[in-house]
Amino acid sequence: MGDKFMNFTTISFDGKTVKVLDQTRLPHEETYLSLSTAQDMANAIKGLIVRGAPLIGVSAAYGVVLSALMHRRKDINIFKNNVLNDIKLLAGTRPTAVNLFYALDKMEKVLGLDTSSVHNLVGLIIDKAKKIHKEDIQMCKNIGDSGESIIPESGVIMTYCNAGALATSGMGTALAPIYRAKEKGKKVTVYVPETRPLLQGARLTAWELSNNDIPVTIICDSARGYVLKKKKVDLCIVGADRIAKNGDTANKVGTYSLAVLAKTNNIPFWVAAPKSSFDKTIETGRDIPIEERDEAEVRNISDKTIAPDVPVFNPAFDVTEATLITGFITDEGIIKPS
Ligand code: MRU
């Protein structure tokens, strides 16, 4: 299975191994890696070979499948213990995107199903991962349909990081309404800030949009205020890694400052995300765990050191308060923050 969107497939499963597009090598090389263990998958998630909240969820589900296949010849109790350990391993990869925990929770529930045969359990685990994968593809299409109407006939959009097809197994979240608008004949153009430190905007979103014939202009992160003030930008659309009950939203670090800039310049600021990104166990953004990553990501650009040996602080995400958000484009329609 796998939704072939444009010319690439972010993830696919052939019954034995999981094939993933290595996003660390884009845009220079389109390389696919074959993963055969849960540890391989944990490394791929942690190393951003696969990234973006929805794709992290689908990848983790297939990580559990790889674990089940590896341990399938064992006694049922040992099998369950080994797979549970791998679920813990996968859960420890990235703390912010709730989709990881949403998918792993669903996979763990399968282990609890009343069956005395490992063979049956493995079949159920594979079916569940394929279902999560299929649902992800469908939720992207639904977000595209929900959000298309907010895009003007000649719309100029600013997005951030990559919340497109590369961040999911379908057509993306923040970029899905843009693809749908293009299909309907609208002329959409996009600004994308480069998104330091790992440049998902410049490397991934620019590659993805230009491959799909959508005009895209890269700007420096520091040029966002200038562009919002001086150029025609109709709206911002970003993705989400986790949304608290009150609508506060965690997304790639820099999203919060983009939202403040959008508000100052009276530009609507939309968040596109599936309902599975809404964490009903968390009241406000203050409770969302924020991943901090290696200082080398900031200190270096393409393996070249660009800073002196002083401390580096590298949060991967930040939280945008609900008051800064115009609305949520979800797979179940548009929701306004209350
Ligand atoms: O660190 P990343 O590349 O996984 O961060 C990705 C983002 O912040 C995306 O905007 C978010 O996951 C939404 S993806 C549809």
CATH class of 147-335: alpha beta
Q: How many CB atoms lie within 10 A of CB 26?
A: 19
Instruction: Compute the distance from residue 104 Cα to the ligand 1 centre, in Å.
Output: 18
| 107-123 mean pLDDT | 91
Ligand 1 atom having least distance to the Cα of 51: 4
Mutate to test the pocket of ligand 1, among 208, 251, 256 (most ligand atoms within 8 A of CB): 251
* Token duo for residue 67: 């674990």
What are the CA-CA distances from residue 317 to residues 42, 52, 68, 251, 256 (Å)?
20, 12, 32, 5, 9
Cβ-based burial of 102 (10 A; exposed 0-12, middle 13-18, buried ≥19): buried
Tell me what pLDDT residue 116 has.
Answer: 79
Instruction: Compute the distance from residue 286 Cα to the ligand 1 centre, in Å.
Output: 19
Computed over every residue of the chain, the mean pLDDT equals: 96
Does the fold of domain 147-335 match that of domain 11-142? Answer: no
Give the Cα separation of 263 and 261 in Å (integer): 5
CATH class of 11-142: mainly alpha
Give the Cα separation of 59 and 42 in Å (integer): 9
Tell me what pLDDT residue 114 has.
Answer: 73
| 273-297 mean pLDDT | 96
Ligand 1 atom having least distance to the Cα of 200: 3
Ligand 1 contacts CB of residue 242 (under 6 A)? no
Ligand 1 atom having least distance to the Cα of 273: 15
Ligand 1 contacts CB of residue 52 (under 6 A)? yes
Tell me what pLDDT residue 115 has.
Answer: 78
Q: pLDDT confidence of 168, banded at 50, 70, 90?
A: very high
Query: What interhelical angle do 38-46 and 76-91 show, nearest 10?
Result: 10
User: Which pLDDT tens digit goes with each residue over 74-94?
Assistant: 899 999 999 999 999 999 999
- Which residue's CA is minimally distant from atom 6 of ligand 1? 52
The answer to whether the CB of 250 falls within 8 A of the CB of 239 is no
User: Which pLDDT tens digit goes with each residue over 16-69?
Assistant: 999 999 999 999 999 999 999 999 999 999 999 999 999 999 999 999 999 999
Query: Does the pLDDT at position 2 exceed 60?
Result: no
Query: Does the pLDDT at position 4 exceed 70?
Result: no
* Token duo for residue 113: 């199903």
Could you give the percent of the chain with pLDDT greater than 90?
A: 94
Sheet containing strand 11-13, edge to edge, reads: 11-13, 18-21, 32-35
Q: Which residues contact 123 (CB under 8 A, 6 or more apart)?
A: none
Q: Which residues contact 15 (CB under 8 A, 6 or more apart)?
A: none
The amino acid at 202: A
Instruction: Compute the distance from residue 32 Cα to the ligand 1 centre, in Å.
Output: 20
Ligand 1 contacts CB of residue 169 (under 6 A)? no
Instruction: Compute the distance from residue 267 Cα to the ligand 1 centre, in Å.
Output: 22
Q: pLDDT confidence of 193, banded at 50, 70, 90?
A: very high
Ligand 1 contacts CB of residue 54 (under 6 A)? yes
Provide the greatest CA pair distance for the chain.
Answer: 66
Ligand 1 contacts CB of residue 161 (under 6 A)? yes
Instruction: Compute the distance from residue 168 Cα to the ligand 1 centre, in Å.
Output: 9
Query: Does the pLDDT at position 3 exceed 70?
Result: no
| 213-241 mean pLDDT | 98
Q: Is the dihedral of CA 110, 166, 91, 136 positive or negative?
A: negative
| 98-117 mean pLDDT | 93
Query: What three-state secondary structure class fits 217?
Result: strand
Could you give the percent of the chain with pLDDT greater than 70?
A: 98
Tell me what pLDDT residue 1 has.
Answer: 45
Mutate to test the pocket of ligand 1, among 24, 139, 200 (most ligand atoms within 8 A of CB): 200
What are the CA-CA distances from residue 240 to residues 122, 234, 306 (Å)?
32, 20, 30
Tell me what pLDDT residue 5 has.
Answer: 57
Ligand 1 atom having least distance to the Cα of 161: 10
Ligand 1 atom having least distance to the Cα of 160: 10
Tell me the catalytic residues: 241
The Cα angle at residue 156 between residues 179 and 261, in degrees rounded to 5: 120
* Token duo for residue 142: 């639904």
Please state the domain extents for the chain. 11-142, 147-335
